[in-house]
Amino acid sequence: MSAPFRVALSGDFRKADGSPVYPDFDLEPLRQAPNVEFAYLEPRNPVEADQLKDFDALILLAHRFTKDSIHPNGRLAIVARFGVGYDTVDVEACTRAGVALAITPDGVRRPVAVSIVTFILALSGKLMVKDRLTRKAAAGFARRGEHMGVGLVGRTLGSIGIGNIGAELFRLIKPFDMKLIAHDPYADAKLAAGLGVQLVGLEEVFRRSDFVSVNCPLTAETRGLVNAERLALMKPTAYLINTARGPIVGQKALTKALKEARIAGAGLDVLEKEPPDADDPILKLDNVIFGPHALCWTDQCFAGNGAADVRAVLDVQHGREPRVVVNREVLETATWRNRLHEFRKRFAT
């Protein structure tokens, strides 16, 4: 009987009293898996190398994983991030050490796309304004004609990025009979055509859309991509929705455009600085609906992320490649292939 495959959960998955922070993350499949042991780490941020010396895998919530988190004994094979962001992980250090970094696009795809639809419906239906009016009773009802909503049929939804979430947004919005356009320099043209999405230039998304939704990653190329010049191309009746990453949008320029009503409004789940300063002027604007980088947080999102991470670590235990790996070059190395081979010999049934 060979030693079990050992999985660590970062310490931030557990509260001080030992109960799970996110009970929707179902650990039963890990508990039931043959020849697997798992344990929570002490909550140290960043994760420290000595904590991991007896583990083959790490499921990582929000704690940082740096070059100093990697134990020189080379036992750790995979870090499975709970979510798709990995700015908390030193990817290069992982690659150098032959550690695969897995993420969970399957867990977030639907929940984030639903968040974007939520913003589209709330903004177009003037939901927040009408909620406030109703609370003012007769005085509010008297003013309801001043807040006409916007019908969606024939209106244009434009996405910057048509990847995991952008494509799901287009799938979900189909029954609303909108025109669909997207800009993505790396787009899969067949996927776009299949979804009825016209691929256009970046400026055209700003010019034509009634709703511009940001669905690209934050990279050197996309930082500040939504700037004053591009906001100026938008129709005064159009809305900007950002559920991707705050710094893709120049927040000062956006605040100005919203303040001067040069665009109709915005739905923002992400901000340049999170949490924002309490006196950030954008928080004073009533043509914006905010989410605290958590609009997609649902029971199903957390269950989905957890299930995807458990699948990734059990894949490695059985000598299979995990489905979504950020540093795919690791998978090509002889060391990694040998390692998988060894796991297969030990654990594959």
Q: Which stretch, 27-35, 241-249, 257-265, 335-343, contacts ligand NAD (CB under 6 A)?
A: 241-249
Number of residues that bind ligand NAD (CB under 6 A): 29
**266 binding ligand NAD? (CB under 6 A):** no
Residue type, 266: A
- What token pair was written down for 76? 């750790």
Residue 261 CB, nearest distance to ligand NAD (Å)?
Answer: 26
In the set 6, 63, 155, 183, which binds ligand NAD (CB under 6 A)? 183
Beta strands in 162-285 (DSSP E): 179-183, 198-199, 211-214, 239-242, 265-268
Give which of 66, 159, 173, 165 is closest to 109, Cα–Cα.
Answer: 165
- State the amino acid at position 97 in one-letter form: A
Where does this chain touch ligand NAD (CB under 6 A) — which range of 183-191, 260-268, 312-320, 337-345? 183-191
Residue nearest to ligand NAD (CB): 163
Among 135, 186, 220, 260, binds ligand NAD (CB under 6 A): 186
Answer for which of 221, 229, 286, 342 binds ligand NAD (CB under 6 A) is: 221
**What minimum distance in Å lies between the beta carbon of 295 and ligand NAD?**
7
Out of 217, 277, 284, 333, point to the residue binding ligand NAD (CB under 6 A).
217
Q: Which residues contact 303 (CB under 8 A, 6 or more apart)?
A: 24, 25, 26, 107
* b/e code 65-87 from CB counts within 10 Å (16+ = b): beeebbbeeeebbbbbbbbbebe
Q: How far is the CB of 289 from ligand NAD (least distance, A)?
A: 14
- The pattern of x and - marking residues 66 through 105 that bind ligand NAD according to CB under 6 A reads ------------------xx-------------------x
Q: Interacting stretch for ligand NAD, rule CB under 6 A, among 88-96, 209-217, 232-240, 257-265?
A: 209-217
Nearer to ligand NAD, 158 or 166 (CB): 166
Distance of CA 322 to the CA centre of its chain: 19
Which ranges of 11-149 does DSSP label H, i.e. alpha helix?
Answer: 28-32, 91-96, 105-124, 127-135, 137-141
Binding of residue 215 to ligand NAD (CB under 6 A): yes
Residue among 216, 240, 254, 264 that touches ligand NAD (CB under 6 A): 216
Nearest approach, Cβ of residue 270 and ligand NAD (Å) = 6
Residue given tokens 């300063």 in the structure block: 277
Interaction between residue 43 and ligand NAD (CB under 6 A) = no
Q: Hey, what are 322's tokens? A: 């995990």
- Which residue of 18, 72, 175, 185 would you call a contact of ligand NAD, by CB under 6 A? 185
Residues recognised as catalytic: 245, 274, 293
Taking the complex as a whole, how short is the minimal distance between the CB of residue 76 and ligand NAD, in angstroms? 25
Cα–Cα distance for residue pair 334/337, rounded to 1 Å: 5
For ligand NAD, give the closer residue by CB, 133 or 266: 266
**Calpha distance 169→120 (Å, rounded):** 11
Sign of the Cα pseudo-torsion (121, 126, 128, 132, in order): negative
Reference 213, options 269, 160, 150, 289; nearest CA is: 160
Residues 119-178 that bind ligand NAD (CB under 6 A): 160-166
Helix (H) and strand (E) counts for the chain? 12, 12
Q: Would you tell me which residues interact with ligand NAD (CB under 6 A)?
A: 84-85, 105, 108, 112, 160-166, 183-186, 215-218, 221-222, 243-245, 269-270, 293, 296
